[in-house]
Structure 1
Amino acid sequence: MLDKKALIKKTLNYVKEYKYIGRYRAEKIIYNMERSNGENTYLTENLVPYINKSGVVLSFDDSFRVKHWYQYGKEIFGFYDVKATFNINAFHPFENNRMHTQEEIDMLLELQSNGHEIVHHGYKHRNAFQYSKNFGVNKWIEDDIIPLLDWMENQSHSKTGNKFKKPISFAFPGSAYDKKLTSAIIPQYFKATRGHLRDNNLATFGETGFIPSICIDQNYFFELKNIKKAIKIAKNAGKNLVLMCHSILPDECNWDDFGWGKDSEIAGKYRISPRVLKEIINEVKGNDMEFYTLAEVSGAATFIDRNLEKSIRDILSCQNEWVMIKDLVSLRELDLSNKGISNLDGIQYFLELESIDLRGNNIEDYRLLEKLPKLKRILM
C-alpha cells in the first residue's frame, strides 16, 4: 500500500500527465483547424449578421446547472447581446432524479427572454448511442426525445406566463452519436444537432444536421490562447465556432459545497469561470464577430410570442417547419397591428426594416427595436 507522500506524488504525476495530454490534444485540434480551413477567405465588405458574418456559439450542457448559468452568466451575457445556447433535460441527477422545480423553470425561461436559446438535451440525459444500441433508435426517440418535447410544451413562467419555444436544435448527451441517430431526428424533430469534434470543427450558415463543437471546460485544458486561435480561424474562414461548456462557476467556488456527493465529482470538473468567459467575449467582440444561438447558425428564426410567429408566417405565406432568417432580413415594412402580440422576440432578424406598425397589441418592452439599424417609422 502506498504511504501518503507516495500517493500525493502519484496523484500529482497523473494530473501533470493529464494536463500534458489535454494540451497536446488542444494544440492538435488547432493545427488540424488551420490546415483544413486553408487560406483567409473572409469577406470584409457586405457582412450581414445571421447571413455571412462569422460568429461564436456558447453552448452550455445539463440544466441541473441552471442556477450556475443564471447566477454567474445572466449579467455577463446581457439582453440580446452575448447570446448563448442552454441545453436542458427535465431532471436533476444528483437530487434523487427529481424533476425541475418551478424556480428552475422560471430561470430557464428568463434566460430565454434575454435572447438565449433553450435546446433539447435528452429527457433523462441518456447516452443516445448506447441506449439505441441496446433498445433501438425508435425506443430512444420514444423515451428521450418525445417526453422532453411534451414536458417543455407544458411548462410556463410562474409570473409572465411565457412558454418555451419549440426547440430547433438537439445536443447529444455526452456527444455520443452516429449518423443513424442524426438521420432519425433530422429533420423530423430538429433542424440541427450538436456533438463534439468533427472535420474542421466549424459550422457554415444554414446548416441542417450535425454541427461540431469544441469543449472548453477547465478539465479539457483547452487554454485561452488556443480558444483565441480558434476564434481567429473561424473569422478568417468566414464560418462559425461552437464552444461547448457546462457550469459557469468562479475559480474559487468549491463544488463540494453544493452537497451533491461523490457521484457528482466528475460532473463538477466540467466548468468554466466567469473570468475566462469575459476574456472570450472580449476576444469575439474585438474581432468584430457576432454571438449566435445554435438555431441562428442553422438559419432558423425563433419567436417567443406565437401570435408574432403566426403573423410573420402569414406575411411570408410560409408553411414550412421553420421560418428562415434569410427570408426576414430584406423586408422593409411590417404591418403587425391588432395581432395580439405581447413579445417582440424575433423582430431582431429584420435588419432592413424601415417601417413597422405595432398598434393594437399588448407590448410593454420595445427594446428589441433598437437592434434594427434602419428603422425610421414606428406606429404603436
Structure 2
Amino acid sequence: MKLKSKILITLNSIKRNYYNWRYWNNVYKNMMKYTQSLASKDKSYMLLYKNKPGIALSFDDSFRINDWYKYGNKIFGYYDVKVTFNINAIHHFKGKREHTQKEIDMLLELQSMGHEIGHHGFKHKKATDYSNDFGLDSWIEDEIVTLIDWMDQQSHSKTLEKFKKPVSFAFPHFLFDSKHVSELVPKYFKIVRGHLYKENLISFNHSGFTPSICLDGYYSYNLHYIKKIMRLVKKSGKNLIFTCHSILPKEFDWDVYGWGKEAKKSGTWRITPQMIQTIINEAREIGLEFYTTSEIAGIATFIDHNFEKCIRELISNPSLKWIPLSELSPIVELDLSNQGISNLDGIQYCVNLEKLHLGGNNITDFRLLKKLPKLKKINFGNDLKEKISNINY
C-alpha cells in the first residue's frame, strides 16, 4: 500500500474517532446540564414493580428478526434482560413482502421469553414525510391502524399464542412532530419513542413522547461515555432507553443476506452481542434494572386474555385501556381456578402475592412463579400436580 493511502486511512480514522468523541461528549454534557436538579431524595415516582431505575433496550426494524432471534435469545434469557422489539409487517428489502409465518413465530417466541413487541409502522414510513404527502389521517390509517389489525390477525403456528396489543410506538427514522404525538397518545399508545431530547431520562409511569439514545449507525457507540451515562441514570433515579437495530458479530458480512445495494446502508445499523453483554454487565454492577418500554410507562401486559380478564375484575377501573402496574402490587391472594388459563405471563407483576389458586387450567410452564418473592402457598389442584416438577420451593 502506498504511503499516501496509508496516511489517508489514518487521517480518516482519526477524524471518525474525533467526531465520535465530540458527539458522545455533547450528549453527556447536555444530560449533565439537565439532570443536576434531578438527584432528589424523593422517590415517590419510583415503580412499585421493582423500585429501581433502569435501562430499556429498544430494537427497531423486524426484517432483522433472524439476528434478534439468533443472538438475542442467547444474551437476554427468560424474563431476565427484557427488551422491546419494534416491528413492521413487511420486510424492507425482499420485495417489501409481509413477514412469513416462520418470522411471525420467531417474533412471538421472543414475546414468550418476556420481551415486548412494540409498534414501528406497517411499512416503516416516515411519519412527517408521509403525512405531508397524503395527510395525517392517512398515515394513521395506513401505518398505525393497519399494523394493529395485522398483529391481531397473527398467531403462532404451534402454540396459537397471539401478539399482545401494542402499548408503545417507535417513530421510524426518529422523525415526528407534536401533532403526531398528540394523535397517537393516548388513543393508540401510552408511550411513543423518538431520539435525543433534553436530559434523555424518563420517569416511571410516563405517558407521551419519550427520548432515547441510539447506539448504532452513524451515531455509533462510545463505551466510555455509555458507562458515564448509565451512572448518571443510576444517580437520577430515572430510566433511559437505548435504541439499536441488528444484533450481529463485528465480523459478520452483511452482504451474505444478498439484499443488494439498497440494503447496504442498513447493514451499518448494528450492535455486537459483545457490546450488549458489556452494557448488561455494567448495568448489573451499578444496580440498574432492565425494563421494556411499556413497563417504564407503568403498564402490565398479558399474553393470555383469560388471565387478563381475571385481573381486570380485581382492579379499580376494569374498563381502562391499559392495566397499570400499580394496580397489581396490592394483590396478596389470587384465585385463577377454572378460568381456562394457559399462560401465566403478567403474574410477575404481582410482587406481593402470597396465595395463588391455579387448579382447573391448562398451564404447562410455571417458571414465572419463581419471580414472586412473597409467594407462600399455591393450590395447583389435582390436575396440575403432575406438571410442577420444575418448580422448587
**Equivalent in 28, 32, 43 of residue 34 of structure 1:** 32
Structure-2 residue corresponding to 1:265: 264
Is this contact kept in 2: 1:23–1:221, CA < 8 A? no
Secondary structure class of the residue paired with 2:311: helix
Quick one: which amino acid aligns to residue 365 of structure 1? D
Quick one: which amino acid aligns to residue 18 of structure 2? Y
Q: Would the alpha carbon gap of residues 263 and 11 (structure 1) be closer, same or farther in structure 2, given more than 3 Å must change?
A: farther
Aligned-partner Cα distance in 2 for 1:210–1:282? 28
CA displacement at 1:9 relative to structure 2: 6.2
Indicate the larger mover: 223-232 or 206-215: 223-232
Q: Would the alpha carbon gap of residues 278 and 130 (structure 1) be closer, same or farther in structure 2, given more than 3 Å must change?
A: same
Aligned-partner Cα distance in 2 for 1:372–1:91? 38
Aligned-partner Cα distance in 2 for 1:9–1:322? 58
Structure-2 residue corresponding to 1:281: 280
CA displacement at 1:258 relative to structure 2: 1.2
Q: Would the alpha carbon gap of residues 9 and 65 (structure 1) be closer, same or farther in structure 2, given more than 3 Å must change?
A: farther
Q: Would the alpha carbon gap of residues 102 and 12 (structure 1) be closer, same or farther in structure 2, given more than 3 Å must change?
A: farther
Q: Would the alpha carbon gap of residues 213 and 132 (structure 1) be closer, same or farther in structure 2, given more than 3 Å must change?
A: same
Aligned-partner Cα distance in 2 for 1:198–1:15? 29
**Superposed counterparts of 1:23-172, under 5 Å:** 23-38=21-36, 40-41=39-40, 50=49, 52-172=51-171
CA displacement at 1:129 relative to structure 2: 1.2
CA displacement at 1:194 relative to structure 2: 0.4
Aligned-partner Cα distance in 2 for 1:54–1:101? 37
Structure-2 residue corresponding to 1:318: 318
Q: Would the alpha carbon gap of residues 140 and 49 (structure 1) be closer, same or farther in structure 2, given more than 3 Å must change?
A: same
**TM-score normalised by structure 1 residue count:** 0.95
Quick one: which amino acid aligns to residue 60 of structure 1? F
Q: Would the alpha carbon gap of residues 264 and 7 (structure 1) be closer, same or farther in structure 2, given more than 3 Å must change?
A: farther
In structure 1, list runs of 5 or more residues that go unmatched: none
Aligned-partner Cα distance in 1 for 2:292–2:183? 23
- Map Cα deviations across residues 133-189 of structure 1 (whole Å, 9 max, x no partner): 222110100111111011100000011000000000100000101111000011111
Q: Would the alpha carbon gap of residues 47 and 199 (structure 1) be closer, same or farther in structure 2, given more than 3 Å must change?
A: closer
Structure-2 residue corresponding to 1:374: 374
Q: Would the alpha carbon gap of residues 129 and 42 (structure 1) be closer, same or farther in structure 2, given more than 3 Å must change?
A: farther
Equivalent pairs, count: 378
Structure-2 residue corresponding to 1:213: 212
In structure 2, list runs of 5 or more residues that go unmatched: 381-393
Q: Would the alpha carbon gap of residues 47 and 174 (structure 1) be closer, same or farther in structure 2, given more than 3 Å must change?
A: closer
Alignment root-mean-square deviation, CA = 2.1
Is this contact kept in 2: 1:19–1:221, CA < 8 A? no
CA displacement at 1:19 relative to structure 2: 3.6
CA displacement at 1:307 relative to structure 2: 0.4
Percent identical residues: 51
Is this contact kept in 2: 1:43–1:238, CA < 8 A? no
